[in-house]
Structure 1
Amino acid sequence: MQNDIIKCGLTEQTDSQFVDSIEKEAYVWYEKNWKHDDYEHSHHRSQLTFVEEGYQYFHIDQKIYLVPQNHIIWIPSGKLHKITSEAQTVNLMVFLFKSVFKDDFYRDLQVFAVSAVLKEMLLYASKWSQSVTEDEEQDIFFKAILKSLPNFCKESNFLEIPVPKDERLIPVCHYINVNFKYNLDIDSLAEKGKMSVRSLQRIFKNETGITLQKYHQLIRILKSIELIDTKQYTLSQIAYLVGYQSLSAFTSSYFSIMKSKPKINKK
């Protein structure tokens, strides 16, 4: 890996470790048409990422977290993470904090929807993008954002896609990921995992914390989000493409996962 690659004000050194020589407690980096680094890396600063447009997948601790448009992810200091996305356009705002408050909230990874108030605060902060000079208003404003995060956060574990460690489950997950449009065939999945149906259901639940049926639903909804992002299909077409027999069935399933109804944002 080449040394001295600067990303978000951080300099990449060996072993995908990013460090910085910036003295400021916090700063923001806003970019349109974001080009992500699809390899695992970490840094000492805690990270708050706001996805203004598009979506991103964050691969962290054997799980994949979907962060769609108008959502944020909080990544504690030192946490290894990898980012991928197939979105046509990704506009991101990344806040990097040298120190945080002592509340338990800041020690754990968080993903949640951005409220109207928080969104306005984040967009206002974009005026300081890439500024590393001291600014009293900025320092106070960023500290206010940081302090307010626990109050804005709502549990959003529905955006979390588990990745099993048991090697027998890898072909099972791969098959579902490829054939998500079709109904689950538990017997075929058990054959791919080389175990009984009962063992597959028990081991999968123990490994991931969710059932095969729930995993299948999550994958369908993730695929629908990718299709919605392309703006090439109607919602009825997307419902069919991801395996639902009706728009109402798709809308109900989408709402149960995302806590909002699907919609296509046309520019």
Structure 2
Amino acid sequence: MQNDNIKCGQIEKSRGQYVDNILTDAYVWYEKNWRHDEYDHAHQRYQLTYVEDGYQYFHIGQKTYLAPQNHVIWIPSAKEHRTTSDAKTVNLMIVLFKSVPEHEFFQNVHVFAAPSILKEMLLYAEKWNQLPNEDEEQTLFLKAMLNSLPHFCNENEFLQIPVPADNRLLPVCNYINTHFKYNFDIDTLASIANMSVRSLQRIFKQETGITMQKYMQLIRILKSIELIDTKQYTLSQIAVMVGYKSLPAFTSSYYAIMKTKPRLKK
């Protein structure tokens, strides 16, 4: 079991603040049915997280990132973040790197589906789980994986849920987040924001980078991922539960976001 004061191999001296006593340049932490504390924290190491089972939300700055099953998220050094998930089971592998190559990729957050070769590399790296001393194979293997990440990254920008900085838009997002099953009335949303319809559409796109229609689609698909994870419903049932009139309409929308067709978990 995880020690209360040890988080991913680092010592938590105070809430969300860590002391890094790890001797190795790259450290592997894998645990079944485990997730991080749901409060903001930061550490100097760069973090690669692979979601083997379940799904995990990462709240970083003005965005929330969804890492579904078989996806990875890269978090740069000292980037404050917190995690949440309602999945029944969350199996995570975390690799913490002290140093990274001088490449722009490593300075930004990325979420992408793990290609087969990366999944195999991560599964192989499990042999070094929580080992304090680094051997030559581990050093070379994890460095090779690290250097390959920019080439593996086929980023899905739709796994990023924008959070507007304009407080007038937060009630609009909250309304869509809770009424995603129903097609929204633009006049109602404008009234909630105390704006004209034209101003709401313009400012929402300016603040989030997407239209309200696209935001609604994104929320629906993310909710469907959560429902698929429960293993309680058919795809047709899930399609109706998230607001689609037919399975083909849901499948088409899901593919537009996830670049793959929805599948029930076995």
Could you say which TM-score interval applies, normalised by the shorter chain? over 0.9
Cα separation, 2, equivalents of 1:123 and 1:16: 28
Percent of aligned positions that are identical:
68
SS at match of 1:52: strand
Q: Greater shift after overlay, 27-36 or 44-53?
A: 27-36
2:58 corresponds in structure 1 to 58
Cα separation, 1, equivalents of 2:86 and 2:71: 17
Matches for 1:107-186 after TM superposition, within 5 Å: 107-186=107-186
1:67 corresponds in structure 2 to 67
Question: Structure 2 stretches of 5 or more lacking a match?
Answer: none
1:265 aligns with 2:262: no
Cα deviations across residues 69-111 of structure 1 (Å, max 9, x unaligned)? 0000000100000100010100000000000000111111111
Deviation of 1:134 (Å): 2.3
Q: After the TM superposition, which segments of 4 or more aligned residues of structure 1 sit over 6 Å from their partners? A: none
Cα separation, 2, equivalents of 1:235 and 1:28: 36
Cα separation, 2, equivalents of 1:254 and 1:152: 22
Q: CA RMSD in A?
A: 0.9
Matches for 1:7-86 after TM superposition, within 5 Å: 7-14=7-14, 16-86=16-86
SS at match of 1:42: coil
Matches for 1:176-255 after TM superposition, within 5 Å: 176-255=176-255
Cα separation, 2, equivalents of 1:68 and 1:35: 14
Q: Greater shift after overlay, 29-38 or 43-52?
A: 29-38
Verify the 8 A CA contact 1:19 1:44 in the aligned structure 2.
Answer: no
Cα separation, 1, equivalents of 2:134 and 2:253: 48
Cα deviations across residues 102-137 of structure 1 (Å, max 9, x unaligned)? 011111111110111110010000011000112111
Cα deviations across residues 36-83 of structure 1 (Å, max 9, x unaligned)? 211110000000000000000000011000000000000010000010
SS at match of 2:176: helix
Q: Structure 1 56/193 Cα, relative in aligned 2: closer, same or farther at 3 Å?
A: same
Cα separation, 2, equivalents of 1:22 and 1:129: 13
Aligned residues: 263
Verify the 8 A CA contact 1:24 1:133 in the aligned structure 2.
Answer: yes
Cα separation, 2, equivalents of 1:265 and 1:136: 38
Deviation of 1:34 (Å): 0.6
Q: Which amino acid aligns with 2:43?
A: H
Cα separation, 2, equivalents of 1:222 and 1:22: 36
Verify the 8 A CA contact 2:193 2:200 in the aligned structure 1.
Answer: yes
SS at match of 2:112: strand
Q: Which amino acid aligns with 2:106?
A: Y
Deviation of 1:13 (Å): 2.5
Deviation of 1:15 (Å): 5.5
1:87 corresponds in structure 2 to 87
Cα separation, 2, equivalents of 1:90 and 1:84: 11
Q: Which amino acid aligns with 1:263?
A: R
Question: Structure 1 stretches of 5 or more lacking a match?
Answer: none
Cα separation, 2, equivalents of 1:94 and 1:235: 31
User: What TM-score do you get using the length of structure 1 for normalisation?
Assistant: 0.97
User: What TM-score do you get using the length of structure 2 for normalisation?
Assistant: 0.97
Cα separation, 1, equivalents of 2:39 and 2:83: 7
Cα separation, 2, equivalents of 1:96 and 1:155: 20
SS at match of 2:144: helix
Deviation of 1:19 (Å): 2.1
SS at match of 1:33: coil
